Amino acid sequence: MLNKRSIRTLFFVMLALGLCSCASMHTNQERGTAVGAGVGAGVGAILGQAIGGDTESTLIGAGIGAAIGGIAGNQVGRYMDLQEQELRRAIAASEAASIRREQDILRATFKGEAYFEYDSSQLKAGAYPELRRISDVLNRYPETMIEVAGHTDIRGSQEYNQQLSERRADAVKNELVYNGVDPRRIRAVGYGETRPISSDHAMNRRVEIIIVPVTR
């Protein structure tokens, strides 16, 4: 029978092996499956050995852990793969929008001047059809949470820029909600001038829609 210290040590060894093995994977789905299965199998094996204290229990536990971990990892990766593809199609005609994937988090960035007049939080007419297409995608993938983040450049006072970024984030959130996206999924936040991404003022004036999967 394994003692608590042995169980803890074995857990971290299996976790490290699972994470290292996914480094050579080429797709997000493969990585999700590998991490989920590797860690799941490791945890399952540890629990099986700790409970049963024999080889048979270890193998049964590893099999259960791999199945649970693999399904969860595979589903999240595939779910976000499909959503990313649809979002890219939704903004394909836009020169002011881009999508970036950060593991299983999607970040859609929209240039401020494409959505708002200078010094305004009123959406331009051209923003509405694009936000409608984005809303349609978000509605087809409800197992995600969304942050709408407003950003400004450094011109003007910090207080004013903070307020402007909040109003712009709220304007985008309100349009998503108008198009049927559940408001409980959305958090609107303004970051003012605190998160620049470039020395170019125009690049820093932006709104981001950040999409995070909900795991069970």
The secondary structure element, H or E, covering residue 49 is: helix 28-52
Q: Dump pLDDT digits (tens) for 106-154.
A: 999 999 888 998 889 999 999 999 999 999 999 999 988 999 999 999 9
Is residue 65 over pLDDT 50?
Answer: no
Residue 64, pLDDT score: 38
- Strands 105-111, 206-213: pairing is antiparallel
User: How far is Cα 204 from Cα 112, in angstroms, rounded to an integer?
Assistant: 8
Mean pLDDT over 157-177 rounds to 96
1-38: string of b/e by CB count within 10 Å (b at 16+)?
eeeeeeeeebbeebeeebeeebeeeeebbebbbbbbbb
| More confident site: 63 or 27 | 27
Tokens of 85: 């593809």
pLDDT score recorded for residue 75? 84
- Predicted pLDDT at 123: 96
Residues 39-44 have a mean pLDDT of: 44
Q: Which residues pair with 213 in a beta bridge?
A: 144
Residue 41 structure tokens:
């199998």
Q: Are 17 and 41 in contact (CB under 8 A)?
A: no
- Where do the CATH 3.30.1330.60 domains begin and end in the chain? 91-213
Query: Does residue 32 carry a pLDDT above 80?
Result: no
pLDDT at 73: 57
16 vs 115, residue with greater confidence: 115
Amino acid code (one letter) for 54: D
What pLDDT does residue 27 have?
A: 54
- Residue 23 or 203, more confident: 203
Please state which of the four CATH numbers 3.30.1330.60, 2.60.120.380, 1.10.3720.10, 2.30.30.60 is assigned to the domain occupying 91-213.
3.30.1330.60
Q: CA-to-CA distance for 114 and 94, rounded, in angstroms?
A: 9
Tokens 């303004």 found at = 190
Ramachandran sector of residue 117 (left: φ over 0; alpha: ψ -120 to 50; beta: rest):
beta
**What pTM value is reported for the model?**
0.67
- At residue 34, does pLDDT exceed 70? no
Nearest-angstrom CA–CA distance, 179 and 162: 26
Please tell me the predicted confidence (pLDDT) of residue 167.
97
Does pLDDT of 46 surpass 80?
no
Is residue 168 within 8 Å of 140, Cβ to Cβ? Answer: no
- Average model confidence (pLDDT) across the chain: 76
Residue 41 · residue 67 · CB < 8 Å: no
